[in-house]
Amino acid sequence: MLKNNLSQSASPYLLQHKDNPVHWQEWSDEVLEKAKAENKCLLISIGYSACHWCHVMAHECFEDKEVAGLMNKHFINIKIDREERPDIDQIYMDAAQILTGRGGWPLNAFALPDGKPFYAGTYFPKDNWIKILENIAQAYKEQPETLINTAKRLTDGINSVDIFESENQNSNFSESELIASYKSWYKHIDFDNGGIDKAPKFPMPVVWESLLEYYALYKDEKALQAVEITLDKMLHGGIYDWVGGGFSRYSVDGYWFAPHFEKMLYDNAQLLSLYADVYKITQNNAYKKCIEETINFLNTELKHKNLGYYSALDADSEGEEGLFYTWTSKELKAILSAEEFELTTAFFGLRSNGNWENGRNILSQNLALEPLADKFQISLEETQNYLSRIKNKLKTTRDKRQKPGIDNKLITAHNAMLVKGLIKAYQAFLNKEYKNIALELVDSLINNSINEDYSVRRIMDKPDLDGFLDDYAFVIEAMILTYENTFQVKYLEIAEHLMQYTLDNFYNEQQDLFYYTEKSTKLIARKIEFSDNVIPSSNAVMAENLWRLGHLFSIENHIVRTKNMLQKVRPLYKKYSLYFANWHKLNIAVLKGQIDVAITGPNALSNTQKLQKHYWPICNFCGGISENIPLLEHKINPKRDQIFICQNKTCSIPLTNLKESIEVLKKQIS
């Protein structure tokens, strides 16, 4: 007889369920064989440790003995951590979206013993859940052929989602089409409150990164306006932790006011990149402060002492969502002086009975600094000093509270994304600490995530869990960026070795795209991830990696593959433009022509740092004092600083003046 075996798991999410009366199993071939032997359906429940509604359903259903009795009697019950096994999550998420038109977590799917799903949904309250369990158990007993036929059709649908019919290979996406595609986004953007126009609102950094690049190249001021409004509103909303730094995963409303309070590494890594890039253009000091506070949050709350960064902080503490981050008026009055409390109330729009749930207040800015200063008839400097004192008092008190739980998985992809965020922050501010942290993290990825054969682990300290396409994609991207900011060619060489491994083990020659899993997968579907979501599409990142490595190493096959990949996704790209934001960025580079900037001589790195304080889309940077990559051949004078700006296999004359180089580069990208 089965029993709950999750106590043996290394996943924090699975361990949260180890004491449930449900006989949870981890996904394995042995468990699937047992389901077949006993002719029992699978009940596959998927979530992640920081997920609030996962906790709610666990408490209402999975901790209940009556519910557990039904589950154990009729099903083989499997718990999945979606961050450990995103490949499994993708399959059953597709099932839920095909059946219901929506998805999310917790994700609960019912499948035949061979894993083919016939029913799926998200959160269910106890009474509904019991009815579903009873109805499915009865249907499988009395009408199994109905569920078998449903499962076949649904599995066919899951597999057909990733079949592409490409357009004429000679049909190029024109510049006018690209511009029109970007402009079509405006009808979906909330120009009053920022973000995409529907609640709930997710940060979606990939959208704003892409729109920023479009602005920089085509000078459409509306694009920059959309980006700045979004960044400002997020920064002033409850989604940003004013006391401790860092962003929550999403806002439940259209105003960024009330978040679900989980904090994810992948969100904060991407937002570091975004705020740093926008700072390069706007020089907005609020963005600089946000970056400083977010990096401090990551180093204080999510850093492993030796390896990398943990994946998430929970939304809940002491069994209540947001308790750690919110305040009653009584708590604030006990901490602050009368003047400080009055100013805090005005600044955040606090209410005596709470501006949120259970009499508690979310710290979401209600007034800008200037109106706040005017209201209290004090100077802007005095206002900032007040707020600084208030923040310190709140942080001191909050640090004594029970902290939200931490998900201590060291996910390779998300750590690689953080490398990018730290490097972008370094470029914007030339803070050497950021570069040093990034280099330490890169070394940790090399030593702990990358195996000798250039296969990659999903979790940095778990050699038994193979990496997925996003792990390879973001590590390669991190290696290219690290090279650009060190000119140590070993990072490029690692990137190219990883690329070759990925081409050998993930690439689908017929589809001209990469599978999400290696060729050894045993699941019912081998998925292809092509559209952007809260994380950029791994195929889009791989296409950009191919493009950049192709130019840096003069590998024509890489460049051709990039164009083929773009061509393959074009029909969907045109139809669902906003969810192909990263592909848009790449399309700009292909249309405009990649710009390769070779910076050579004794001060190559110093000159690169000065150049990269500016925002340069569609540019590769290479350099140093040796001809260690093709782009540097015949461009090295060890005693003379030179800058070459190359595009379409033609290079400028060597430039020796940095200001002149900046002006030439600005003209080149416009």
Q: What is the pLDDT of residues 199-223, one digit of tens each?
A: 999 999 999 999 999 999 999 999 9
At 167 the pLDDT is 57
Q: Are 388 and 343 in contact (CB under 8 A)?
A: no
pLDDT band of residue 52 (cuts 50, 70, 90) is confident
What percent of the chain stands above pLDDT 70? 98
Question: Would the pLDDT of 165 be above 80?
Answer: no
Question: Would the pLDDT of 150 be above 90?
Answer: yes
Question: pLDDT tens across 240-268, in order?
Answer: 999 999 999 999 999 999 999 999 999 99
Two structure tokens written together for 69: 């009795």
Average pLDDT on 366-388 reads: 96
What one-character DSSP code corresponds to residue 613?
T
Side chain identity at residue 508, one-letter code: N
At 172 the pLDDT is 65
Query: In 240-379, where does DSSP find H-type helix?
Result: 265-282, 285-297, 329-335, 338-348, 369-376
Closest residue by Cα to residue 618 from 178, 212, 203, 275: 212
29-33, 361-365, 519-523, 620-624: range with lowest mean pLDDT: 519-523
Average pLDDT on 116-124 reads: 95
The C-alpha atoms of residue 129 and residue 34 are separated, in whole angstroms, by 24
What class is the 6-160 domain? alpha beta
pLDDT band of residue 631 (cuts 50, 70, 90) is confident
Name the phi and psi angles at 637, rounded to 5: -130, 105
At 562 the pLDDT is 97
Average pLDDT on 33-60 reads: 94
At 168 the pLDDT is 55
At 162 the pLDDT is 73
Domain with CATH 3.40.30.10 in the chain: 6-160
pTM of the model: 0.94
What is the residue-wise DSSP string for 269-298? HHHHHHHHHHHHHH--HHHHHHHHHHHHHI
At 50 the pLDDT is 86
- Within 13 Å and on the Cβ side, how many CA atoms surround 387? 22
CATH architecture of 175-317+407-592: Alpha/alpha barrel (1.50)
At 285 the pLDDT is 97
600: Cβ contacts below 8 Å, ≥ 6 apart:
623, 624, 625, 632, 635, 636, 637, 641, 642, 643, 644
- What sign does the CA torsion over 304, 305, 308, 309 have? positive
Two structure tokens written together for 158: 């899951």
At 164 the pLDDT is 64
220: Cβ contacts below 8 Å, ≥ 6 apart:
179, 182, 183, 214
Side chain identity at residue 572, one-letter code: L
The C-alpha atoms of residue 67 and residue 63 are separated, in whole angstroms, by 8
- As a whole number of Å, the CA-based R_g of the chain is 26
> Tokens 């990696």 appear where?
545
Average pLDDT on 29-56 reads: 94
Q: Cα–Cα distances in Å, from 558 out to 440, 561, 629?
A: 29, 5, 16
81-90, 154-163, 218-227, 390-399: range with lowest mean pLDDT: 154-163
Cβ count within 10 A of residue 200: 16
User: What is the CATH code for 325-400?
Assistant: 1.10.10
The C-alpha atoms of residue 658 and residue 597 are separated, in whole angstroms, by 12
Two structure tokens written together for 660: 């002149």
Q: Are 579 and 531 in contact (CB under 8 A)?
A: yes
Question: pLDDT tens across 537-593, in order?
Answer: 999 999 999 999 999 999 999 999 999 999 999 888 888 999 999 999 999 999 999
Q: Cα–Cα distances in Å, from 204 out to 172, 194, 237, 299, 544?
A: 27, 11, 16, 23, 19
At 171 the pLDDT is 57
Question: pLDDT tens across 258-295, in order?
Answer: 999 999 999 999 999 999 999 999 999 999 999 999 99
Pairing of strands 619-624, 595-600: parallel
Q: Coil, strand or helix: which one is 110?
A: strand
pLDDT band of residue 501 (cuts 50, 70, 90) is very high
pLDDT band of residue 91 (cuts 50, 70, 90) is very high
Average pLDDT on 638-649 reads: 92
Q: Are 583 and 543 in contact (CB under 8 A)?
A: yes
At 519 the pLDDT is 82
Domain with CATH 1.50.10.10 in the chain: 175-317+407-592
Question: pLDDT tens across 434-475, in order?
Answer: 999 999 999 999 999 999 999 999 999 999 899 999 999 999
Name the phi and psi angles at 49, rounded to 5: -65, -30
Query: Domain 595-669 maps to which CATH number in 3.30.1360, 3.30.70, 3.40.30, 3.10.620?
Result: 3.40.30
The C-alpha atoms of residue 503 and residue 70 are separated, in whole angstroms, by 46
Side chain identity at residue 543, one-letter code: A
Q: Cα–Cα distances in Å, from 222 out to 216, 234, 322, 589, 623?
A: 12, 18, 35, 21, 36
Q: Are 593 and 643 in contact (CB under 8 A)?
A: no
At 161 the pLDDT is 75
At 102 the pLDDT is 85
186: Cβ contacts below 8 Å, ≥ 6 apart:
222, 226
At 169 the pLDDT is 52
591: Cβ contacts below 8 Å, ≥ 6 apart:
173, 174, 175, 178
